[in-house]
Amino acid sequence: MEDILSLPVQDPPCAEFSAAHIKWEKVEGGRQGGDDIALIPFARVDDFVKGESSNAECPASFRIESRRKRSEGSISKPRVDGYLEYTLYWCSYGPEDYRDSEPTMGDGSHTKPATGKGSRPGRRHMMRGCLCHFTVKRLYTRPFLALIIYNQRKHVDKTGAPCHGILDVDAVGTRAMYAPRISEELRQKVMSLLYIGISLDNIIQHHAEVVQGHGGPLNRDDLLTRNDVRNMERIVRNSSYKLHADDEFSVKMWVQRHQKHVFFFQDMSSTEPFILGIQTDWQLQQMIRYGHSGSVASHSTFGLKKLKYPLCTLLVFDSSQNAIPVAWIVASSFVTQDIHKWIGSLAERIRSKDPRWRPNAFLVDDPSFDISFIREAFQCRFLLCAWHVRRAWMRSLLKKCCNIDVQREMFKHLGWILYSTRSGPNADNAVEEFMQVYVDQCIFMDYFKRRWLPCIELWINSIRSLPVASTEPLAAIESYHLRLKSKLFDQQYANSYTRIDWLIHTLTTEFHSLYWLDQYSAETGYFTNVRDKSFLTNAWYQALHIPDVDVILDEQNLQLAKVISQTDRSLAYTIWNPGSEFALCDCPWSRQGNLCKHVIKVAILCKNRQVARPLLASQVYRQALLTLLQNPPDDPLVLEHAILRVSRLQQDIKGLEDLSNNGLLQPSPPEMNSQVGDSLLFFPHLH
């Protein structure tokens, strides 16, 4: 054991792995005459336990038989195998053996088992004397490593004979052929269905159809009973967000009970803010599935006025262009201020499952984000996403300005300010001009001065230094925002807004279940009748289903375009400033301040036909490149570095094409490419 640190750290590339994936070293003198040992990353212990539970010959469920913890610094001279955490896992079919006992009155069933654990209600019938068990030590001197000590790898009883699974002849035809409990995946499925409101009978009927579809029972999950569902139904019915009268204690209790769903937690103190990072197993799977070679977007500072602490969500985009929440961060300070504390933990959690995981781009919706920490964690490109700026200005104009013609002109002028396309390097002049031209719109101007004037320069500078996301993902993010707002800000919950435990409970139960059901329904075709229809109203998704022939676009006059209504063919909606990030439509959805499918459809068509004027973002970038060309650096070292960056332009263009093919970036017009090699993704290098 003195040489254990010289062992290789084994990290199999599969999501879950078992003892068969590991090369073991034998240590003589163990409990069974010799123990097998191996080192793995501590973050992958759960993957190993799941893999061991999926043994084809002996399906099992390993329970924690005992656990001990020590605090760092508690030992002055730790042994090489000394532990911070010690956990003993034992197969649930042992160690007691009740196969020969008859459950009769007075049979001594109250007798305390030999392990000293006391009686185990509901487990006695499954005890078959299995001796399979292993120990996991989180090493004191290497906290990121776990030493696995496999004391007995075979699922056998004290005679050395198989005691459950297909190798046990007595178990054939009984439940002992299978794992003793349903899997976490099935438990997640049933709990989600219950939270959504699916009845017990419908769940059992659906499960029977699934089992029949693959030819009958194959494992313990296929033997789901009404009693299994009834037990989970009772948990859902009796669950409460208020674990303690004091919100702070209640949150701590939740964190303690759901540690596997917490990737970062920092309690509030006199010097440190409260931060809680939440990601369920299902969310982790979706982030790996859709985030790899895709895009991750931030939806930050939600509920700033109503919730006790604002909520930040990380999103990925599925094949139907829906935004899926894959992590929630609740913080007492602005999440942008403390991103360096939790972003690394999240990245480590993801790559512990898939070391090759890497997104194409990260969309930030707040210019105060310190992208250096995100770049270090995710190693990807960055796009600025100004969806909520556009939405806030549009909604405010619709509410505070009555003249539709003035609304259009002011909205277009605000776009010029944000993208500095009319002001050059001096944005103050453009803002001053805007305020003078529309001085009679005093209600909107008061709002603009109070809310946006203090931060407009920060936004303008960020757009000058970062590429900007195209319109399509903005619609998906906005759709998530509306769904989150509808769920959380229902008046029946008004008295709970100031409690963090209520926010956590609502997100991880009902709201989480809505997204789980949408993915499950889309993939399997089940429960389409109860699927939330709002998932099908994503403007990005709807825009893709509008035929090109229904768009009336005069290429000689790009002041406006028209789109024929898909529900009333006699009606056509008008889009002003088509193809621009600040296009405006007169359809009812757009008149509520939302990004509509007609604006997106026209933008897509303008891009494909290459007929629209250069995007505001493209104009910003062209100006930046021309400035560089006209003012080459004098320092030879800097010039050499710049030449190296230019030589990598082709790689950046390839990355641009990948994002554009995924609908996440608007390519520049060809005439600009021929002049300056206009690639939006070149900005991160300049930054």
Q: Which of 77-81, 92-96, 342-346 has the lowest mean pLDDT?
A: 77-81
Please check the confidence at residue 23 and state whether its pLDDT lies above 50: yes
| Measured CA distances, 424 to 254, 341, 405, 418, 622 (Å) | 52, 37, 26, 11, 12
Q: Residue 160, SS3?
A: coil
Q: Identify residue 684 by its one-letter amino acid code.
A: P
Q: Which of 11, 4, 42, 46 is nearest to 25 (CA)?
A: 4
Q: What is the pLDDT of residues 412-423, one digit of tens each?
A: 899 888 877 544
Is residue 194's pLDDT more than 90?
yes
pLDDT in tens, 382-391: 888 888 899 9
pLDDT of residue 511: 94
pLDDT for 99 equals 79
CA distances 457 to 128, 421, 428, 444, Å, are: 71, 14, 8, 19
Give 389-393's long-range contacts (Cβ < 8 A, gap of 24+): 389/418, 389/459, 390/474, 390/581, 390/582, 390/595, 391/478, 391/593, 391/594, 391/595, 392/451, 393/452
Contact predicate 129/164, CB 8 Å: no
Distance spanning both ends of the chain, measured CA to CA: 51
Q: Mean of the per-residue pLDDT values for the chain?
A: 82
Confidence of residue 464 (pLDDT cuts 50, 70, 90): confident
> Is the per-residue pLDDT at 24 higher than 90?
yes
* pLDDT value of position 3: 78
Q: Are 656 and 667 in contact (CB under 8 A)?
A: yes
Cis peptide, bond prior to residue 95, ω within 30 of zero: yes
Q: Is 480 within 8 Å of 313 (Cβ atoms)?
A: yes
In this prediction, residue 114 carries a pLDDT of: 47
Nearest to 15 by CA among 351, 515, 358, 377: 351
Longest CA span, the chain: 96
Under a CB-based contact definition with an 8 Å cutoff, are residues 564 and 547 in contact? no
**Average of pLDDT values for 218-227?**
87
369/334 Cα distance (integer angstroms): 10
pLDDT of residue 481: 93
Q: Which of 203-207, 295-299, 556-560, 653-657 has the lowest mean pLDDT?
A: 653-657
Mean pLDDT of 500-508: 94
Please state, in angstroms and rounded to a whole number, the distance separating the CA atoms of residues 383 and 389: 15
Specify the pLDDT at position 407: 92
Q: Is the pLDDT of residue 113 over 50?
A: no
* Beta-bridge mates of residue 252: none
User: From residue 668, how far is each of 136, 528, 671, 673 by CA, in Å?
Assistant: 55, 40, 8, 7
- At 304-336, the pLDDT tens digits run 889 999 999 999 998 888 899 999 999 988 777
Tokens of 90: 């034992």
Is the model more confident about 6 or about 670? Answer: 6
Least confident of 245-254, 313-322, 642-651: 642-651
